[in-house]
Amino acid sequence: MEGPGYLGDLLRKDGFDICLVNAKHETLPEIEHSLVIVLGAPESANDNLNYLLQEQVLIKKSVEKNIPVLGICLGSQLIAKTFGGKVYGGHKKEIGFYHDLVLEGSPKLFSNFKNPFTVFHWHGDTFDLPEDSTRLARSHDYLNQAFQFQSAIGLQFHLEVKEEMVKLWLDKNKKKLHNISNIDAEKIRKDIDENILIVKNNMEIFYNNLKSSFNL
């Protein structure tokens, strides 16, 4: 289960009560929240799993009520699929720190970001944008890295990671990573010290922009 990481720290610091649900094993709550966050997982948005279908229902209902939804990695793919976008395997896996994300125009959610900016990636799938959505960021290898559909925001990348999260993911996936030709797990580990504070700073900027955009 992927946790909210540094994003959770920021929410708690501001006094938000967090209801953390492992959707694979727990029932999604019926009560309305001021913000819904759908995090990542190893599954694909195309897997016919009940918990993924239930998350899509939650996403749709929340947007219909104009409740902000933030989808990260798999969460972004579920948002895209919920509103008619196609999710499919990308031409290469992106795992590690990347510095080539470019903003599309001047989106308010990314105010005060450097352009291009740095993120942490861990994905193999990608998606087409739903009709009437707005692309917010792209990269060299993937056209759709961040987008908005009404009150739903999809981020294909991770800004919420902490140092210990990255190390844990590397440790748990050591064998899998060894078989991916374009991924150097040891380089990613060495890159943590140089990049983790940059990504956390981007998380904090994005979080403040998100609060401002939706009056949280």
1 pLDDT more than 60: no
- Per-residue 3-state assignment (H helix, E strand, C coil) for the chain: CCCCHHHHHHHHHCCCCCCCCCCCCCCCCCCCCCCEEECCCCCCCCCCCHHHHHHHHHHHHHHHCCCCEEEECHHHHHHHHHCCCCEEEEEEEEEEEEEEEEECCCCHHHCCCCCCEEEEEEEEEEECCCCCCEEEEECCCCCCCEEEECCEEEECCECCCCHHHHHHHHHHCHHHHHCCCCCCHHHHHHHHHHHHHHHHHHHHHHHHHHHHHHCC
Lowest mean pLDDT among 8-12, 69-73, 90-94: 90-94
**pLDDT given at position 30:** 80
Q: What is the mean pLDDT of residues 12-20?
A: 94
Q: What is the pLDDT of residue 129?
A: 97
Please give the average per-residue pLDDT across 50-63, as a whole number: 95
pLDDT given at position 159: 98
Superfamily of domain 5-214: Class I glutamine amidotransferase (GATase) domain (3.40.50.880)
- Span 165-212, pLDDT tens digits: 999 999 999 989 988 888 999 999 999 999 999 999 999 999 999 999
pLDDT digits (tens, 9 = 90+) for 95-104: 999 999 999 9
pTM of the model: 0.95
Residues catalogued as catalytic? 73, 158, 160
Q: Provide the pLDDT for residue 125.
A: 95
pLDDT at 128: 97
Report domain extents, the chain. Answer: 5-214
